[in-house]
A and B are shown apart, each in its own frame.
Chain A
């Protein structure tokens, strides 16, 4: 039976996108996150609920909150932690999941809600949101990993899905400086899990509602047998009902990725054509988040939701198109080192 275990990944039914993968065993980290951007102003919100089950020690649940204000150049960020035994992650199938974690309540799905209170030394914030799924085909659940085995098998150790790539948010956020009303903010919901965070990555997602286009991708390195791989990149672009996939992953001859402290540029080619993506968070509000890994090693996520984005796609069988967003890009960098520009780690 042991020899057949690796095959279970091929034959077992794949769980629903938002189903909890945490099996109450040590060595697991799992997150559900939402982000919402004002349609025209540089304002954005990011919420996340996390399970961290270390290899040694008690599992915890965490809730994260960041509000990005590009007009004032400020952020309000806080993390709250409680024992996992006090939290609950209950799935009802398909995309539906109810999460209660460290002061944050999420009812995930095509229609959902988020409520929570965050009490930080520098002030308190609360959130009361609801959302609906964008009716466009770009809002269909998305997996950047092209093969099922990458999502269900032992490699890579960190997984990602985007159950809801395009959502419409409304509600209210209360900050120390005042309240912000959300009306038709655009965003998405993601789900990550695995035995550890990737060694290093740049991840980005952006919506271009006027052109009915969505893009999501990453460039990352993982560790195999103690060695770090070269950078591996993938990108998916949706234009209405059409998908352009640049997700061959192990094709270094058709990938060029440039990652700096604040900027990510990616050129990829596939049978669908060519894609050129630039995401730039230089000079934009960014927060450094301290992520724990189950093995105790820290990772640092440099998180911006106000990146400038330019995407050009040259379809193999059609005219090219270019999309630009002055401040709507969700851009995150994960690294193993702190950045002296960020003395405060959330």
Chain B
């Protein structure tokens, strides 16, 4: 049975000039077969895009333990960009290793545009856990509405 959950990660990116920008993504991960999830949602990425739809993958590996994010979106100037990074779950620092994600922003030619850190807000843990339920819970409904609204605006 496919698994689905909704996750939000927030943080900052620093580009090559040292300028910091806020970044966040709100995605649904669905699938789960062999640890592979498809991502769909919305991303806000500072000067590259105020808000746009995003898709990508999330891959969970056991050995070595890692949760790898690859969030892809189109910047306002038309470039296809990737926001990618991996969590390294560790029993020595379980909370930090599961909530902190070091990321890089790259373009189509895999040139690094910025690096940064994103975090999962533990205050949103209840909503995150609720989103794992096999029901159309509020986090799913809200993300759907958000994604549709953003996609519609992009079409217009």
Contacts and interface: CB of A to CB of B under 8 A. Distances in A.
A is bound by B: yes
Interface of A: 251, 253-254, 269, 312, 314-320, 322
Interface of B: 44, 50-51, 121, 123, 141-142, 145-146, 149-150, 152-153
A315 B145 CA distance: 10
A251 B124 CA distance: 13
A252 to B, nearest CB: 10
B76 to A, nearest CB: 13
Contacts of B141: 317
7 contacts: A253-B121, A254-B121, A269-B121, A314-B51, A318-B145, A319-B51, A319-B150
B146 A254 contact: no
Contacts of B50: 312, 320, 322
Contacts, number: 32
A254 B145 CA distance: 23
Contacts of A314: 44, 51
Contacts of A316: 142, 146
A319 B44 contact: no
A319 B144 CA distance: 11
B44 A317 contact: no
A124 to B, nearest CB: 49
Contacts of A318: 145-146, 149
A314 B51 CA distance: 9
B123 A320 contact: no
Contacts of A253: 121, 123
Contacts of A317: 141-142, 145-146, 149
A50 B22 CA distance: 42
Contacts of B51: 314, 319-320
A253 B149 CA distance: 28
Scoring A269, A315, A319, A320 by chain B CB atoms within 10 A of each residue's CB, the highest score goes to A319
